Amino acid sequence: MPTLGDDSLNAATTAPKDIEWRLPRHARSVGRARTLLREQATSWKLPDEVTETAVLLLSELMTNAYRHAKVSPGRQIWACCALDDDCVRVWVTDASDELPSPRDASKDDESGRGLALVSTLADDWGSAPRVGAVGKTVWFELRLTPQT
């Protein structure tokens, strides 16, 4: 019978430290990804401010993936998140090889600010081609506690 100090009991009651969702390349997947990340952040007991920022930035990356990844129908977008001791990492992978870059949107533009927002609010972010496969991954990190 397991005891309180038993690792198998602790493992059964501990939330996973990383998770992945595969979603269709569709506008509805943006909202679904936000909901899934918010639920995961709640299970991890992340600070509300970190959760809200992570959800906003994931929304931007998912929107870019479904709007700009011009690939054949049926391809999925992968949204993933991982919790470390001091940060949460979120990444989105799609089947397009085109790496994103922030652009300078004018005050009259209705879009084009997503990566600038990611760059401003994330503690770190970047993009890279997928290794051994077609596509790219765009990611960001948020620290759980402010740096002093």
DSSP sequence for 43-54: HHT--HHHHHHH
Query: Residue 17: its pLDDT value, please?
Result: 86
Query: Residue 110: its pLDDT value, please?
Result: 54
Query: Residue 13: its pLDDT value, please?
Result: 41
Tokens of 21: 């969702």
**What is the extent of the structural domain holding 66?**
18-143
Widest Cα–Cα separation across the chain: 66
Tell me the three state secondary structure of residue 134.
coil
129 assigned to some structural domain: yes
8 assigned to some structural domain: no
131 assigned to some structural domain: yes
Q: Tokens 């709007």 correspond to what residue?
A: 67
Tokens of 26: 């569709």
CATH number of the domain bearing residue 31: 3.30.565.10
The tally of domains found in the chain comes to: 1
Query: Residue 99: its pLDDT value, please?
Result: 87
1 assigned to some structural domain: no
Query: Residue 38: its pLDDT value, please?
Result: 97
Please state, in angstroms and rounded to a whole number, the distance separating the CA atoms of residues 101 and 140: 14
Query: Residue 51: its pLDDT value, please?
Result: 97
7 assigned to some structural domain: no
Burial class (CB in 10 A: 0-12, 13-18, 19+), 113: middle
Averaged in consecutive runs of 10 residues, what is the pLDDT profile of the chain (148 residues)?
Answer: 38 66 90 96 95 96 85 81 94 89 61 79 94 89 83
Q: Return the closest-CA partner of residue 94 out of 122, 123, 61, 118.
A: 61
Burial class (CB in 10 A: 0-12, 13-18, 19+), 105: middle
Query: Residue 4: its pLDDT value, please?
Result: 37
12 assigned to some structural domain: no
40 assigned to some structural domain: yes
102 assigned to some structural domain: yes
